[in-house]
Amino acid sequence: MHIVVLTPVLDDWMAARQLLSLLDSAFAPKADAISILLVDDGSTEQPPAHFGAGPYTCLRNVSVLKLKKNLGNQRAIAVGLCHIAEKITCDAVVVMDSDGEDDANDAVRLVDKLREFNGGENLAPIIFAERTQRSESFVFRLGYLGYRMLHYVLTGRGIRFGNFSIIPRARLVGLTVEPMIWNHYAATVVGGRLPLGTIPTRRAARLDGKSRQGFVRLVIHGLSALSCYNDIIGVRLLLFSSLLLGWSVFGIVAILTLRFFDYFPLPGWTSVLAGILIVFLLQVITLTTNFTMQMISARSVQPFLPARDYSWYVDRVESYPILS
């Protein structure tokens, strides 16, 4: 089986270099041929001398796909998948981070899980590494829990995995024509209802340096995932706005009815409350109308198509010779 390992890199060359050795050691007992495609997401640092040279046991090729600018982790993955689908013949693609937090041994487990389909690649799902235990700080885990709750409320779907996964070749071309993969890979698979499976994993320790994923980038990452469910979130917000609209109308009618028929004395602040409800009603109507029109207009706009447009962001491909 020929496996391509796709991993985005942003200046983490020392960690990526160690990851190559770990992948070679992990896959050495297998009969697989492994190619590595690192997507250089606009790094300001150059790879060290003889990067990727080896010697290796099962690594057959190490290439760096250089982008013209920094696109972010998710879009770098999208460009890499499109490049593989168009330029590289393989049986499956393993998507993982280059910092080592995705364990090389778990990459082997993903391949073994795919093998369970006994050559039925056309029926094989995309298999993700599901985190059973997180190693981040308490504040991060608390924020992540809040994000997962918000994600479920807005989309009705839970998510417990990230990029670490294996994609059988039969699913790759379909992914590259999904416009939402430009925003978030995992959310596209879930939102597109593509067949998927999971294996339990633990996050490994970072191989070198410190993470550049600050709070702002994490928030953008979460919003990118939610953007893949625009239609679902839009309908849910529209229903919620309609509910608020109904309660506002009911409150106004109730206050005016009691005031007009004078069933019992009402305090003076009821007129103020009625005025607040009327203002709130007008705001809900305005926001709901604008949001509905935006949803309708968005469906008539030609979306960005990764398989067609990704090449605009590719600078060049550099291959590193493997020492015997």
- Residue-by-residue DSSP string for 191-243: HTT--EEEEEEEPPPPSSS-----HHHHHHHHHHHHHTTHHHHHHHHHHHHHH
Q: Which residue would you say has higher pLDDT here, 227 or 283?
A: 283
CATH architecture of 2-139+159-210+306-320: Alpha-Beta Complex (3.90)
Angle at 204 between CA 7 and CA 317, to 5 degrees: 10
Write the DSSP symbol of residue 125. Answer: P
Quick one: pLDDT band at residue 84, thresholds 50, 70, 90? Answer: very high
- Is the pTM value of this prediction over 0.75? yes
Q: CA dist 235 to 75, 211, 230, 242, Å?
A: 27, 37, 9, 10
Residue percentage of the chain with pLDDT more than 70: 78
pLDDT tens-digit readout, 282-307 = 777 777 777 777 766 666 666 788 99
pLDDT value of residue 213 = 60
Contact status, residue 180 vs residue 80, Cβ threshold 8 Å = no
pLDDT average, residue stretch 122-149:
72
Domain ranges of the chain: 2-139+159-210+306-320, 231-298
Contacts made by residues 119-124, CB under 8 angstroms, sequence distance 24+:
121/91, 121/92, 121/168, 121/169, 121/170, 122/170, 123/195, 124/168, 124/170, 124/171, 124/195
Hey, which residues does 200 pair with through a beta bridge?
A: 130
d(CA 40, CA 28): 26
Q: Which helix (H) or strand (E) holds 66?
A: strand 59-67
227's CB contacts (< 8 A; 6+ apart) are 180, 183, 184
Record the tokens describing residue 201, joined without a space: 């994993």
Q: Under a CB-based contact definition with an 8 Å cutoff, are residues 24 and 55 in contact?
A: no
The answer on pLDDT for 135 being more than 60 is: no
CB 291 within 8 A of CB 45: no
Mean pLDDT of 116-124: 67
2-9 vs 92-95, strand pairing mode: parallel
